[in-house]
Structure 1
């Protein structure tokens, strides 16, 4: 018996103050794929991530994660489902009043089933996974560079060992070297942990360095979805404009 898709959206419609953002949107993402989500400003990319997270309910349609409808009324089922995904927000969204250690420990403490020693071990493990040491746990978010904020936020997103990782502009604000290092880190973790990844990005290097598949959000729906090579053949104004006429950049 085949596994259900990690993400499945059918007939999703979303509007704000009478303005349609998504109309009859459909998308299927299978286990192990790394999907780059492209779209113009205001096309609804971040809204789509919020709907996958369950932070925003569409006006119509179905959103399923691992075969489970996000409208499923079973509270425990929904809680277990959300432990299977992690989110890296564009600017990290670290709690400014908490140390690095406490930011990463936060979702672990919410489980209410781990003692302090286990939490300490897991936090140090997650720090090591993103290339940071235990000593960095004492720092406050205001003391971190932009690259370190991304790494700490990634460690927190991985705290509960998710199967699905959502990334909103993961390299935004980083210089080229740090951006490349972060792309390589995400790629290494994806291979080691077997993650399914969905990322919103405007950066061609990030897209080319990570994505196995590309979804193009335009005209209020996913108008193209496929491998990077397949997207190169799409004849659409947004696709042409995004790659500046040279789609070889995606390879």
Structure 2
């Protein structure tokens, strides 16, 4: 069975500056993979390449055994329908209602008649634990936590198998952050999702991740379970995982 994500020799540069080079990473079915690294190391750039929003400068990305950027337009669209993306700040269309934001991918791909789209939008709102009347609100009327949930509902609108999350709990207070992590874990179990998420928050990482990949020095420095990663000898890992504050956070989360 093909892995949901297989990256080999991936490189990306902006002008003459290489952000990453020689990146190798495999994500197995059902993994909850946390991608961590220092500021500016390329975590979001890697996620955007996985989502097909940025072209790699070199190397290959395969989703479910198929090259991400090859084939006809319909083949590429079919591949990308198998993944959903939650952007850091939600990236909702400010001029569209919640309903229209969630319906947008379905309408764009002309997959269903409008009556079925309506039913599906309300089903997705229920999946992210929002009441039906939220559908008629505008993004400006939503709290930060509700924006995250609406954006997650939109990411789930095409019933993806792979979910990409960029800083899923950024900007949320501890209670809302814990609630959002619990929601993702429930959806992971119920839908059999594979999840790749970028985070700098150790509470989120400890509560959500089944494995961790560390992006440092322009490559994947290490990948494994949290207790393995913590013991890797590298300055970033020392700073990120082994400070007193970090150890307290990891102890609170308890890992998975």
TM-score interval (norm. to shorter): over 0.9
Counterpart selection for 1:208 from 193, 197, 206: 206
CA positional deviation for 1:133: 1.3
Consecutive unaligned residues of structure 2, counting only runs of 5 or more, are none
1:17 matched to 2:19: no
Indicate the residue corresponding to 2:182 in structure 1: 184
Per-residue CA deviations over 1:72-104 (Å, capped at 9, x if unaligned) read 132211110010000000000000000000000
Counterpart selection for 1:73 from 71, 74, 77: 71
Asked if the contact 2:230–2:242 (Cα under 8 Å) also holds between the matched residues in 1, the reply is: no
Q: C-alpha distance in 1, partners of 2:53/2:38?
A: 22
Give the TM-score taking structure 2 as reference length: 0.95
Q: C-alpha distance in 1, partners of 2:111/2:233?
A: 53
The number of equivalent residue pairs is 249
Q: C-alpha distance in 1, partners of 2:11/2:102?
A: 35
1:90 matched to 2:88: yes
Q: C-alpha distance in 1, partners of 2:117/2:18?
A: 44
Asked if the contact 2:70–2:76 (Cα under 8 Å) also holds between the matched residues in 1, the reply is: yes
Asked if the contact 2:211–2:225 (Cα under 8 Å) also holds between the matched residues in 1, the reply is: yes
Moved more, 66-75 or 53-62: 66-75
Q: Tell me, what secondary structure is at the counterpart of 1:38?
A: strand
1:143 matched to 2:136: no
Indicate the residue corresponding to 1:27 in structure 2: 25
Matches within 5 A, 1:48-127: 48-127=46-125
1:218 matched to 2:216: yes
Give the TM-score taking structure 1 as reference length: 0.96
CA positional deviation for 1:15: 1.1
Q: Tell me, what secondary structure is at the counterpart of 2:9?
A: strand
Q: C-alpha distance in 2, partners of 1:111/1:131?
A: 26
Q: Tell me, what secondary structure is at the counterpart of 2:3?
A: coil
Indicate the residue corresponding to 1:245 in structure 2: 243
Indicate the residue corresponding to 2:229 in structure 1: 231
Asked if the contact 2:10–2:24 (Cα under 8 Å) also holds between the matched residues in 1, the reply is: yes
Per-residue CA deviations over 1:129-163 (Å, capped at 9, x if unaligned) read 00111100010000000000000000000000000
CA positional deviation for 1:71: 3.0
Consecutive unaligned residues of structure 1, counting only runs of 5 or more, are none
Q: Tell me, what secondary structure is at the counterpart of 1:162?
A: coil
Q: C-alpha distance in 2, partners of 1:113/1:129?
A: 20
